[in-house]
Amino acid sequence: MPTPTAGVATLTVGPTQLQLLPQRAVYIEALEALLVSDVHLGKAETFQHYGLPISSQTNHATLQRLEDLCRQLSPTSLWILGDLFHGREGMADAVIDAWLKFLHRTQISAHLIVGNHDRRLQDTLDQLSVACYLEAVDVGGLRFSHEPELDPDCLNLCGHIHPCLRLTMGCDRLRLPCFHWQPRQNQLTLPAFGEFTGGYDIALGAGEVAYVVADEAVVEFAR
């Protein structure tokens, strides 16, 4: 059995146990599935296309973190909840080659819920050894989607929002990515996985929980 990474938080919803990883991913042992969202490969290259000198090392760091998780947990499937790539301008040969080499090294079965950034790349995605889904997919009683889908009877795991929690401690302020659990909506929103992504500050509603990614640990903050 694979050893979960240190600093994991566990969220149990009915019979489903979700391991929330400090690498900004979710592992579901019962499905042997690793879930990430908003990877945004090629974002640096998109900026380069418009003349901004952003380092391409962000792609390497993102894929290395994903590969390390695959080797550590040995999932049989990788589910990307949208926005694997950032845009057409960033689809440089080096970006595509890095993705294909990742798949070759890990031999993982990759599945992509097509996100708003991916939709413009349909002709390219078909050539990248990833199974693509234009709509939400139900897997093992769970609903995987890019944008949030409200269905109280089905646990929804989604992305798109890039949730962050802003913390204030005296004069100190800190903004960290988080998993946003909303029990009334039966919904868990994953943080953006990519190294070079923005974030959206969430406000916790009654009963909601932010599982904040603080370096190598996931820390629970509840309202």
Residue 67: inside a domain = yes
Nearest to 120 by CA among 149, 84, 95, 93: 84
Residue 172: inside a domain = yes
Distance CA 62, CA 39 (A): 8
> Angle at CA 69, nearest 5°, toward 64 and 74?
130
pLDDT tens, position by position, for the chain (223 residues)? Answer: 455 556 999 999 999 999 999 999 999 999 999 999 999 898 767 667 567 676 666 788 999 999 999 999 999 999 999 999 866 776 788 889 999 999 999 999 999 999 987 888 887 888 899 999 999 999 999 999 999 998 888 999 999 999 999 987 777 788 899 999 999 999 999 999 998 677 899 999 999 999 999 989 999 999 7
Which residue do the tokens 């989604």 mark? 158
Answer whether 0.85 is exceeded by the pTM.
yes
Distance CA 34, CA 28 (A): 7
Residue 1: inside a domain = no
Distance CA 27, CA 35 (A): 6
Which H helix or E strand runs over 59?
Answer: helix 57-73
Residue 170 has what pLDDT? 72
Domain that holds residue 37: 9-222
State how far the alpha carbon of 120 is from the alpha carbons of 18, 23, 89, 107, in Å. 31, 28, 11, 26
Q: Number of structural domains, the chain?
A: 1
Residue 130: inside a domain = yes
Residue 1 has what pLDDT? 40
Q: Look up the CATH number of the domain holding residue 215.
A: 3.60.21
Say if CB 163 and CB 210 are below 8 A apart: yes
Distance CA 9, CA 15 (A): 16
Distance CA 107, CA 35 (A): 16
Residue 2: inside a domain = no
Residue 123: inside a domain = yes
Residue 161: inside a domain = yes
Residue 38: inside a domain = yes
Say if CB 141 and CB 16 are below 8 A apart: yes
Residue 49 has what pLDDT? 56
Distance CA 208, CA 159 (A): 17
